[in-house]
Amino acid sequence: MDGLLPDLELIRKDFPILQRTLAGGHPLVYLDSANTSQKPQVVIDTMVDHLERHNANVARAMHQLGAESSEAFEAARDKVASFIKAPSRDEVVFTKNASEALNLVANTLAWKGPLQVGEGDEVVITEMEHHSNIVPWQLLTERTGATLRWFGLTDDGHLDTSNIDDMITERTKVVSLTWVSNMLGTVNPVAEIARRAHEVGAIVVVDASQAAPQLPVDVVASGADLLAFTGHKVVGPTGIGVLWGKREVLDQLPPFLGGGEMIETVTMARSTYAGIPHKFEAGTPPIVEAVGLGAAVDYLSHLGMENVHAHEQAITAYALEGLATVPGLTVLGPLDATQRGGAVAFELEGVHPHDVAQVLDSRGIAVRAGHHCAKPAHARFGVQSSTRASSYLYTTPAEIDALVEGLEYARSYFKLA
Amino acid sequence: MDGLLPDLELIRKDFPILQRTLAGGHPLVYLDSANTSQKPQVVIDTMVDHLERHNANVARAMHQLGAESSEAFEAARDKVASFIKAPSRDEVVFTKNASEALNLVANTLAWKGPLQVGEGDEVVITEMEHHSNIVPWQLLTERTGATLRWFGLTDDGHLDTSNIDDMITERTKVVSLTWVSNMLGTVNPVAEIARRAHEVGAIVVVDASQAAPQLPVDVVASGADLLAFTGHKVVGPTGIGVLWGKREVLDQLPPFLGGGEMIETVTMARSTYAGIPHKFEAGTPPIVEAVGLGAAVDYLSHLGMENVHAHEQAITAYALEGLATVPGLTVLGPLDATQRGGAVAFELEGVHPHDVAQVLDSRGIAVRAGHHCAKPAHARFGVQSSTRASSYLYTTPAEIDALVEGLEYARSYFKLA
Amino acid sequence: MDLDALYQEIILDHYKNPHHAGLRDPFEAEVHHVNPTCGDEVTLRVHVSDGVVQDVSYDALGCSISQASASVMTDLVIGKPVAEAMGIHETFLALMQGRGQVEPDEEVLEDGIAFAGVARFPARVKCALLSWMAWKDATAQAVGDDITTKETSNG
Amino acid sequence: MDLDALYQEIILDHYKNPHHAGLRDPFEAEVHHVNPTCGDEVTLRVHVSDGVVQDVSYDALGCSISQASASVMTDLVIGKPVAEAMGIHETFLALMQGRGQVEPDEEVLEDGIAFAGVARFPARVKCALLSWMAWKDATAQAVGDDITTKETSNG
Ligand SMILES: Cc1ncc(COP(=O)(O)O)c(C=O)c1O
Ligand SMILES: Cc1ncc(COP(=O)(O)O)c(C=O)c1O
């Protein structure tokens, strides 16, 4: 098959969990990577080495362990900056996950500052967002009296941008959208929408949670002013996410969480704040998690994100082909693999997604069933939940075959075939 | 020496980093545990096992790995609940650190709800707080027009509660204070202050960041309505903290971060929220970190927090004795070990804290120099910074001896002796 | 994982042919419960009078386990005194939360014993409990109303 | 770690007897810089005229390295044309950020070469740079003012 990562079997050996067998002796077929990715040994080992040999708090500590820990932590920031081609390492803020990164922006926009959102202002999102890029904006607009608007979706699962000039107007203060949908797989024309948003002076927030694992990311080319992603989906650990922002935008946001090293000076009466990125990193940061994330993006860069992307597209195309052979199966979202990400959600007529997932699980195949934190997108397509198979750089065509066979079996188990 | 943990040498073997030698072949003497604690092998191994064998997202995943991961994550909540004697596991919210836990409270109190803080209301803190328990309240009061007040300190480093009835009045909405000071070591009469606060209907927030590592914690007996601590100081990993709150108080706080699994249902127009603890856990939680924290509190419970406390007090008494022999050395804070925690900050006349720390570091002794995120407390005592030695359950009397000798050496190096 | 332990014939039968489905009048309380994790939903009504569960009607969207559970639940509680029905609820809850260690009591749970296997699938326990929780909630409301009505008529 | 590599005699001498300490008039700009990590502070004034650094005066609170660095810095920049002084700043910065790999140029840095060892102690680099950064900031402001003044007088 064209486009697959060379040495795929060797790559799989990097991921200890892929050796696991599950109940009934089935080998693990992990097709839930859009939910969270598995971790290569090098990420785990790097974290262990940090905990066993270099653990200390950062920034504050002047001793040798402190210097080692700080150096490892800040080196991770450099690695992430280069992974997303950030013009400056200071523009990389470590958060706990993508959700916190998005909330950081939405939460601080409520407060006094040049970018403050208030009554009469509009925030524009889309109907295919993850809850983490919906609820923060609902909270912001409800709390400030601003208005939340959203792009709808076309029947084939694309953003409906036909009304873009009505949607993004001089009242628009923020446009926030996902780069790649975690449910439909759709890749959105982020740069194009950003262009329009910038014409009216709005800031553009990009949720790259599904993009960063799969696509080469160039934050400047993306058109984003602010961009979020999460460590655990890029073969890194949980407990860490990234908010990248243009310096001038981050500088204009008031502080989010207060305390720890986010200060310049503190008196009881008032405080002044450190510059970016520290201004947004209150308290002890996720140190060993940043170190793990650094190893993770190094691992990805070593494979080459172009190659990871090609692999993802090859596997996704193969999966779409295979799924098309299953009677009663309908894929939600675009059917052309070259225009989508690797998360494929579908319905199987006559079998509820939970039951599909359960039958697959009995064969060692891990998929996700439910609304995938995208209830509005499900509602848009008149479904309450779906089954989602999501591949990653370690996924093999044989695993897709297992999925397709498992779906056939689910149909027969529920007496549909 | 009375009070030391039995089998101290065996306990030290649990902590791989304590085997390290530093530049010049010096063994590590780690006296910076109030900054962050070291991790026992069992915490590291538990995390590795999770990452290598059980890694999956929680709550959302229906497959076997998902069930295993969710079970491990929720078991960690049970362990933490029993560690702090929480009446209900649902009252334990996982955050990224203590700072986020405190900010969660201060940030949500700004928004509409039964506990909302507004103009005319007062928030009371103390002059010995960590920045993480000052800045969030400054942000809250500045943003809402409420007034921030604080208890001062006595010359011997205790809270000055002589004016408690003027300080806590019917205008007081929140009293937030540290249980144990990270700079002065002072143990505060939290329950007594909470009693007064409750008389006037204020809620009580307790920063237990330094208490949880050292004292047996009983959240109900503490008098707190909300209580925060951080994983990395209780031999757990970074990237995780805990907010405990009484159910009725947590229920009354509006949501903090939006997204992920903190919802009940989401439509584009509006959302409803899950019950506690999930309401406050937006996005993918720090899963492997929670699992590590669970192993950490198990480790501490196995040693027995009464025993850890006795050890800390014995070592602190020994340290105070030793420090008293160093000419020109002044300890900041109470001098009676039975009334304080294990963090001992001091000044050494004629040698700046950085230089003290540097000289100690050259002998493998890790202490902290600076303001320890407690600038106002330093200002109160007319010092800009101090050196802080902080012991923990793995600290030996011999390490205290090394500290005292190191300080003598610092004096001679800077030609004071 | 042994699928047949989960998907007992009884469960699949109730799933294909749910009893008492649909929303009916009269009712004293209607509730809407959601399983936030997966999005399964149930709208459920109870009609209680004279301390007896006269009817339970529902509109459920969800998997085989949640649908079958709603069906079995209505069979078990309709016609029972509220107190007895609450007892059955308790018994079912204990079975579900027993991690497969609790022996089901066929006297009390009838078709409900088919759910014993579900208790070994932690991710599915919530599915089995969705309609039961909704019923308990609705009944508490209805009985509360009942009492209020009585008190008012007494007053 | 070799302490003597860090605490060169020259550094300790400047620490004990800092040059140009105290705040003086006249000045065109005054800044206050803090090292947030440790709390070291410096208040620093610059007097620039005719494109020459006429005076740098300061009040510094901090460790031996930060104090000595302020003292050495004033020795190096006072009396120099602004452009040349900025060049010295660049050279010192490069030395400090060189992780001990940069060979110091005694011609340019004079006593400043004693800080070569500091570059191998990452935690102390900020101490050595505090007053230099303050000076650069203040000078930029003063020169900005200067230019503004000139422009105004031209205008
Ligand atoms: C008393 C006190 N409160 C709060 C904190 C903040 O903890 P964290 O940095 O983990 O958020 C600390 C430690 O840094 C502390 O000592
Ligand atoms: C598109 C998208 N946005 C945001 C998130 C939230 O990421 P996290 O849960 O790590 O905060 C996810 C994944 O859960 C996602 O797929």
Cα B97–chain centre separation: 9
Cross-strand bridge partners of residue B178:
B207
Options A373, A409, A414, A416, the catalytic residue = A373
Residues of chain A short of pLDDT 50, as ranges, are none
Q: Is A98 in the pocket of ligand 2 (CB under 6 A)?
A: yes
Q: Among A391, A72, A3, which residue's Cα sits nearest to residue A233?
A: A391
Q: Is the pLDDT of residue C150 over 60?
A: no
| B100 vs B98: CA distance, rounded Å | 5
What ranges do the domains of chain C cover?
A: 3-146
Counting from 1 in the atom list of ligand 2, the atom nearest the Cα of A230 is: 10
Counting from 1 in the atom list of ligand 1, the atom nearest the Cα of B181 is: 1
What is the value of ipTM here, to two decimals?
Answer: 0.93
Counting from 1 in the atom list of ligand 2, the atom nearest the Cα of A231 is: 10
Ligand 1 pocket, mutate which of B132, B177, B371 (most atoms under 8 A from CB):
B132
For D26, other C-beta atoms within 10 Å of its C-beta total: 9
For A16, other C-beta atoms within 10 Å of its C-beta total: 17
Average pLDDT for chain A: 97
Q: Is A97 in the pocket of ligand 2 (CB under 6 A)?
A: yes
Question: In chain D, which residue's Cα lies nearest the Cα of B21?
Answer: D1
Q: Retrieve residue C46's tokens.
A: 């109870």
Q: Among A255, A256, A279, which residue's Cα sits nearest to residue A91?
A: A279
Q: What does the pLDDT read at residue D146?
A: 53
- Please give the radius of gyration of chain C, using alpha carbons only, rounded to the nearest integer: 15
Beta strands in chain D (DSSP E): 29-34, 41-49, 52-61
Cα B150–chain centre separation: 20
What ranges do the domains of chain B cover?
A: 8-36+305-413, 45-301
Q: How far is the CA of A99 from the centre of ligand 2 (A)?
A: 6
Q: In angstroms, what CA-CA distances link A402 with A261, A332, B112, B249, D71?
A: 50, 20, 51, 49, 73
Contact B258 A283 (CB under 8 A): no
Fold of B8-36+305-413: Aspartate Aminotransferase, domain 1 (3.90.1150)
- Grade residue C121 by pLDDT with cuts at 50, 70 and 90: confident
Q: How far is the CA of A209 from the centre of ligand 2 (A)?
A: 5
| A57 vs B109: CA distance, rounded Å | 30
CB-nearest to C1 from A353, A362, A414 is: A362
Q: Cβ contacts of residue B415 below 8 Å, gap of 6+?
A: none
Name residues contacting ligand 1 (CB within 6 A). Answer: A 260, 283-284; B 97-99, 130, 132-133, 178, 182, 207, 209-210, 230, 232, 241, 373
Give CATH for domain A45-301.
3.40.640.10
Contact D34 A71 (CB under 8 A): no
B260-283 CB burial, b ≥16 within 10 A, e <16: bbbbebbebeebebbebbbbbbbb
The answer to whether B267 faces chain C, any CB pair under 8 Å, is: no
Q: Among A112, A169, A115, A109, which residue's Cα sits nearest to residue A140?
A: A109
Q: In angstroms, what CA-CA distances link B373 with A264, B127, B183?
A: 11, 12, 9
Q: What DSSP assignment string belongs to B5-31? A: PTTHHHHHHT-GGGG-B-GGGPBPEE-
Residue B260 and residue A131 in contact, taking contact as beta carbons nearer than 8 Å: yes
CB-based touch C/A (3+ pairs, under 8 A): yes
Q: Retrieve residue C52's tokens.
A: 């007896």
A123: annotated active-site residue: no
Domain D3-146 in this protein, CATH class: alpha beta
Q: What is the mean pLDDT of each run of 10 residues along chain B (417 residues)?
A: 95 98 96 98 98 92 90 97 98 98 98 97 98 98 98 97 97 98 98 98 98 98 98 98 98 96 92 96 98 98 98 98 98 95 96 95 96 95 95 98 98 90
User: What's the pTM?
Assistant: 0.95
Q: Is A186 in the pocket of ligand 2 (CB under 6 A)?
A: no
Q: Each residue of A71-98: pLDDT tens digit?
A: 999 999 999 999 999 999 999 999 999 9
Q: What does the pLDDT read at residue D36?
A: 78
Residue B70 and residue B58 in contact, taking contact as beta carbons nearer than 8 Å: yes
Contact A61 D1 (CB under 8 A): no
Q: Is A398 exposed, middle or buried (0-12, 13-18, 19+ CB in 10 A)?
A: exposed
Ligand 2 pocket, mutate which of A32, A94, A95, A99 (most atoms under 8 A from CB):
A99
Q: Among B123, B125, B333, B297, which residue's Cα sits nearest to residue B212?
A: B297
Shared fold status for B8-36+305-413 and B45-301 = no
Residue B29 and residue B364 in contact, taking contact as beta carbons nearer than 8 Å: yes
The answer to whether B274 faces chain C, any CB pair under 8 Å, is: yes
What is the enclosing helix (H) or strand (E) of B149? strand B147-151
| B123 vs B147: CA distance, rounded Å | 6
Q: What does the pLDDT read at residue D152?
A: 36
155 residues of chain D, pLDDT tens digit each: 689 989 999 999 999 999 999 999 999 999 999 887 777 899 999 999 999 999 999 999 999 999 999 999 999 999 999 999 999 999 999 999 998 888 999 999 999 999 999 998 888 899 999 999 999 999 999 988 654 444 333 33
Q: Cβ contacts of residue A299 below 8 Å, gap of 6+?
A: A14, A40, A42, A43, A235
Phi-psi region of A395 (alpha: psi -120 to 50; beta: other; left: phi over 0): beta
* Nearest chain B CA: its distance from C127 CA (Å): 11
Identify residue D87 by its one-letter amino acid code.
Answer: G
Q: Is the pLDDT of residue C95 over 60?
A: yes
Say what angle helices B64-83 and C122-154 make with each other, to 10 degrees: 60
| A99 vs B256: CA distance, rounded Å | 11
Residue A342 and residue A392 in contact, taking contact as beta carbons nearer than 8 Å: yes
Q: What does the pLDDT read at residue C145?
A: 60
Q: Retrieve residue B244's tokens.
A: 């405990």
